[in-house]
Amino acid sequence: MMDEDARRLQRLVQDLLELSKIESREVPLKKIACDLTLETDKALDKLRFLADEQRVKLENKIDSAQMRVLADRDQLSQILLNLIENGIKFNKPGGSVTLEAQRIDGQVRVAVRDTGIGIPGTSLTRIFERFYRVDAGRSRAEGGTGLGLAIVKHILEAHGGTITCTSEIGSGSTFVFTLAAAQ
């Protein structure tokens, strides 16, 4: 139990440090043109073991021919890993996580859609707050710190992007974020 508590505390400290760096703009953004399909494929590959373990199907429907974003590659990876991992962890066996994107008025709008347990409407306004957990007991059991979505939100704000969530209990959630499209 002490070992698990130590690992949880280490994750918490790492997430707090990451959030602090993002908020203080301590780490300069290295925005480059990123192929969104390539980056999402990398994130999906990293999480495939977890998805297989949870019996969740992963699907990338992003068309690489037209989806390039202007972003810091490492931070884009962090956004994708966090949202996809949440979609897997809070899903049900036989569920799915699907990524889609479309280009609209100089921006790319990315949707990460899952068929999971959903988020109550009363929590939707708070899920991007630090330490907020919809189900604190389950999140702790899954290893979460309650900082992942706050980190995602701050990364996107640093990029000039946004993030929203819609959800229905028992049917899943859709997280939609925007980034500037690259030429």
The rounded average pLDDT for each run of 10 residues, N- to C-terminus, in the chain (183 residues) is 71 66 71 93 96 96 83 92 95 96 93 94 81 56 67 90 94 96 88
Amino acid code (one letter) for 9: L
Residues 60 and 96 sit within 8 Å (Cβ to Cβ) = no
- Per CATH, the homologous superfamily of domain 2-180 is Histidine kinase-like ATPase, C-terminal domain (3.30.565.10)
Q: What is the pLDDT of residue 140?
A: 45
Nearest one of 78, 50, 91, 64 to 149, comparing CA atoms: 78
Q: What is the pLDDT of residue 177?
A: 97
49-71 burial, b if ≥16 CB within 10 A, otherwise e?
Answer: eebeebebebebebeeeebbbbb
Nearest one of 17, 68, 64 to 41, comparing CA atoms: 64
Q: What is the pLDDT of residue 65?
A: 67
Q: What is the pLDDT of residue 81?
A: 94
- CA–chain centroid gap for 160, Å, is 17
**Predicted TM-score (pTM) of this structure:** 0.83
Q: What is the pLDDT of residue 66?
A: 67
Domain residue extents for the chain: 2-180
